[in-house]
C-alpha cells in the first residue's frame, strides 16, 4: 500500500468530521458514511481476498478503519458537547436563580445576567449551528431555558417555575 493512497480518504473523513461534528453536531452523516464504507469497502475487500491481492486488502481495511475512527470521533465530540451544554445550563440556571433572589423576578433575557451573575452568556455547545441557549417566556407565563441535544430536534428544556428538565421533539 502506497502512503499517499489513503490521503483522499483521510481528507474526506476530516472534512466530514468538521462538518458533522463541529458545524451541525448531529452524527448522522458520519455514521451513514461509515456504514456505506463498511458495506462497500467490505465487499471490495472480500473480492481482493478472493483475488489474493494483499495490497488491496490492506488498503480497503485501512479505509474502513479511517471512516470508523471518523464516526467514533464525531460521536465522541457530540457526547462531549452535550455534557458541556448540561454543565453550562446549570451555570445559567444558577445565575437566573440568583437574579430571581435579588430582583424577585426572573430575567427577561439572558444578557441581564451579565456581568453581575455571569461574566458572559455562555454558549451551550461548541458547534456552529444549534450551539446557543434559548431563553423564553411561554404563553403560560413560564420561563424556560433550552438547548438542542440532537439537531434539529430533541431539545432539553428547563422550566424555572417547576424546576424540572423535560425534552421536546
pTM attached to this predicted model: 0.87
User: Which 8-state DSSP code applies to residue 3?
Assistant: G
CB 114 within 8 A of CB 121: yes
pLDDT digit string, tens, across residues 41-57: 989 988 988 898 898 99
Q: Using CB atoms within 10 A of its CB, is residue 92 exposed (0-12), middle (13-18) or buried (19+)?
A: buried
Q: What is the pLDDT of residue 1?
A: 60
Amino acid at each position: 500500500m502506497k502512503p499517499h493512497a489513503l490521503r483522499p480518504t483521510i481528507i474526506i473523513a476530516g472534512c466530514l468530521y468538521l462538518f458533522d461534528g463541529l458545524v451541525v453536531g448531529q452524527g448522522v452523516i458520519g455514521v451513514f458514511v461509515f456504514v456505506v464504507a463498511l458495506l462497500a469497502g467490505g465487499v471490495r475487500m472480500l473480492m481482493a481476498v478472493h483475488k489474493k491481492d494483499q495490497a488491496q486488502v490492506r488498503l480497503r481495511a485501512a479505509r474502513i478503519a479511517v471512516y470508523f475512527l471518523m464516526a467514533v470521533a464525531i460521536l465522541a465530540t457530540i457526547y462531549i458537547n452535550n455534557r458541556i451544554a448540561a454543565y453550562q445550563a446549570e451555570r445559567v440556571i444558577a445565575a437566573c436563580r440568583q437574579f430571581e433572589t435579588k430582583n424577585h423576578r426572573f430575567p427577561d433575557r439572558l444578557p441581564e445576567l451579565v456581568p453581575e451573575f455571569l461574566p458572559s452568556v455562555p454558549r451551550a455547545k461548541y458547534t456552529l449551528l444549534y450551539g446557543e441557549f434559548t431563553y423564553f417566556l411561554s404563553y403560560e407565563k413560564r420561563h424556560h431555558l433550552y438547548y438542542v441535544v440532537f439537531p434539529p430536534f430533541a431539545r432539553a428544556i428547563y422550566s424555572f417555575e417547576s424546576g424540572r428538565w423535560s425534552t421536546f421533539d
